[in-house]
Structure 1
């Protein structure tokens, strides 16, 4: 039974959020040579280039986290990791796919990029810029855990050129933060935000998660109110999911439970709907299924928008994802293996998947649906495809259910559709991808 066909759907284990297409479970190690071949080809004309660096270090591993993270590391391990990432970038810069391009966006994700000291991050970015200058970049984004920063560190981060600071707040209640494994406290959130605002970051984003372990209606209302008081440039809200490699899932498995100890989907969607309604009342505009922005003319998210329109991406670091000319690939996810491959002078590619023209069409279509609207003319011009014909059956379903409508050239989703958009996207997948494990 799908989310759209049930009145109350409990949260069970698995990936809900669709971040790419085809599903990661179809990427394989035996296709890794495809990635090496893609790097030897020049880029398609007009293709944007981005750089992503995964910083895998954290003070604690959150119970809901499914990313590759490491805790309790020392300065020597951090230094070796940074050296490896720079060695990776050095190898990429020499490849034909770069084609003389400079990145139009750079993203530091984690893990916890703000785990690095001010000096470590400054040295890292200086070395990156020397290899691949950022002077053409429209956005330098940086994820930040509030408890890992000082005012001086934030000043150093801003001085490197970071334009978009994203604070991983998740919740404002100390008990909720602690029981979900977060390392920071509410006091540190406010302190970090005030420092960042005073320093003058062009964009400050706050991340929230609806439906965390032991979260209540009253708590969620307070989180929304506190967010409005801070008045960030953008607010990103995710609905709690429980992928298979999280601490919550491991506990569920040990206890023989099928339902996760978090809010059900109906509750999470209602909470997110309330949050977005309150943000809109305060003058915000919805920018996607997950994000509200204060001023759409000033506040952009180039990393998301360029990737969802087919940009190339160099993914640096352990377990990082890349996309080059239609070939997707992921780095080694084991820390020691990643370091050993780089030390041996090899690119640390673990698995890959090369999309065909139809899969590239579907990828951009489903990802852009998450924005809440898309242009039929865009797909006609880029892929030579009339989406009304190609996706006639699933589009008919969305229209019949009151989830979508066409306004001239624009396909537009309703608010209720956006609240459950990830559960609707599978209808547009190729048959062999629809019922497969996502990750």
Structure 2
């Protein structure tokens, strides 16, 4: 158990965390059976102009809370943001920059589906200022792609990487899944080898999980046994390490200097504005408040000018802050410096003393005075570790 402060946020913050911007584009060609994100099958005509206008109006309503703070990264997520034209995204980025300052070295990432790649389109994306791609490959194998409901094939995924480089993207991620229906160790390693050959700077390699409110939840596929999953995990991590991909988070592997800055900001309990249908945000205020927000989920409601963009908000209670901070920070393989806990929550590190000791005794948390780091066992059983920090 963790002691709580009787007067949350009274001390306030002497400095605020870095600020990022998340932009949600909710449409995709077809919703995948494993997907539990806020995504909707696109009709023949995407309302690009109306949606860009709505996004900028949504941002306008957030500006008072972040006045004077530059944004360090932007992430276009979805859905499939690459369904939008470069012209639409360029107008949006110009509108954002007119409203809020960009850090000089801002990272701007666009999620893209290989089935939507066109060379000229991606050159135009690069010219808008987008400087990083995240390509949703998932697998290169036809049977696995079909099982996942993906709209692309393996050849298109290979071509997508080449097009990304030709368009001027020297920094791109590939999303790959493992633990797929009837997947063998050789299948999983084959996907990884193919991806590595294509020269990405970052790999997001995560195990398929069956989530509620998905087709797979109602019609569960046959997934590999636990011993096969363990073999895949160990062999895959060794293969990536051999090729210079350092694991820095549970599912994230990067070449030197290429960790995803936007995601690192999440994991280090940074701030982010969320705009777009279903987008979430988190903002810290100098007076000690930490606020989570979420926007209207359905695109038709988000585009309805008579309805508010914001669906809800929650001021985080002080007794939830340790868990909120650590459920992100402990995903990082090297954890975080212990002082970051106080910097980002406003709470003294002493608040964690008893919980830290108990987790250390169970072998889930490393015994380091100046860092908060899960042991390898703690990363495997992260939910068990986090239980110690619930209020």
Q: What TM-score, normalized by structure 1, do the two folds share?
A: 0.78
Preserved contact between residue 114 and residue 135 of structure 2 (Cα < 8 Å): yes
**In 1, Cα distance between equivalents of 2:194 and 2:159:** 14
Q: 1:156: how far off? A: 1.3
- Indicate the residue corresponding to 1:16 in structure 2: none
**In 2, Cα distance between equivalents of 1:250 and 1:412:** 37
Verify: 1:272 aligned to 2:240, yes or no. no
**In 1, Cα distance between equivalents of 2:226 and 2:92:** 41
Preserved contact between residue 174 and residue 203 of structure 2 (Cα < 8 Å): yes
- Indicate the residue corresponding to 1:132 in structure 2: 100
- Indicate the residue corresponding to 2:77 in structure 1: 109
Preserved contact between residue 366 and residue 428 of structure 1 (Cα < 8 Å): no
Q: 1:137: how far off? A: 5.2
- Indicate the residue corresponding to 1:349 in structure 2: 310
Among candidates 193, 196, 200, match of residue 225 of structure 1? 193
- Indicate the residue corresponding to 1:85 in structure 2: 55
**Structure possessing the higher relative contact order (Cα contacts under 8 Å, 6 or more residues apart):** 1
Among candidates 343, 358, 366, match of residue 405 of structure 1? 366
- Indicate the residue corresponding to 1:28 in structure 2: none
Q: Please give the residue correspondences for 1:29-428 in structure 2 after superposition, counting only pairs within 5 Å.
A: 45-75=15-45, 77-93=47-63, 95=64, 97-136=65-104, 138-252=106-220, 261-295=222-256, 298-325=257-284, 326-340=290-304, 343-344=305-306, 347-372=308-333, 373-379=335-341, 383-386=347-350, 389-392=353-356, 394-399=358-363, 403-407=364-368, 409-418=370-379, 420-428=380-388
Gaps of 5+ in 1: 1-41, 253-259, 432-439
**In 2, Cα distance between equivalents of 1:319 and 1:394:** 37
Q: 1:113: how far off? A: 0.8
Gaps of 5+ in 2: 1-11, 285-289
Cα gap change, 1:328 to 1:267, in 2 (>3 Å): farther
Q: 1:103: how far off? A: 1.0
Q: Number of residue pairs matched?
A: 372
**In 2, Cα distance between equivalents of 1:279 and 1:396:** 29
Cα gap change, 1:391 to 1:101, in 2 (>3 Å): same
Preserved contact between residue 234 and residue 291 of structure 1 (Cα < 8 Å): yes
Q: 1:387: how far off? A: 6.3
Q: 1:65: how far off? A: 0.3
- Indicate the residue corresponding to 2:287 in structure 1: none
Deviation by residue 1:211-265 (Cα, 9 ceiling, x = unmatched): 122322221121122122223111111111111111111324xxxxxxx532355
**In 1, Cα distance between equivalents of 2:278 and 2:142:** 31
Q: 1:163: how far off? A: 2.4
**In 1, Cα distance between equivalents of 2:112 and 2:385:** 30
Preserved contact between residue 380 and residue 387 of structure 1 (Cα < 8 Å): no
**In 2, Cα distance between equivalents of 1:305 and 1:282:** 22
**In 1, Cα distance between equivalents of 2:178 and 2:325:** 27
Greater Cα shift, 308-317 or 74-83: 74-83
The CA RMSD over aligned residues, in Å, is 2.4
Whose helix proportion is higher, 1 or 2?
1
Deviation by residue 1:89-121 (Cα, 9 ceiling, x = unmatched): 12223x2x1122221111100111111122222
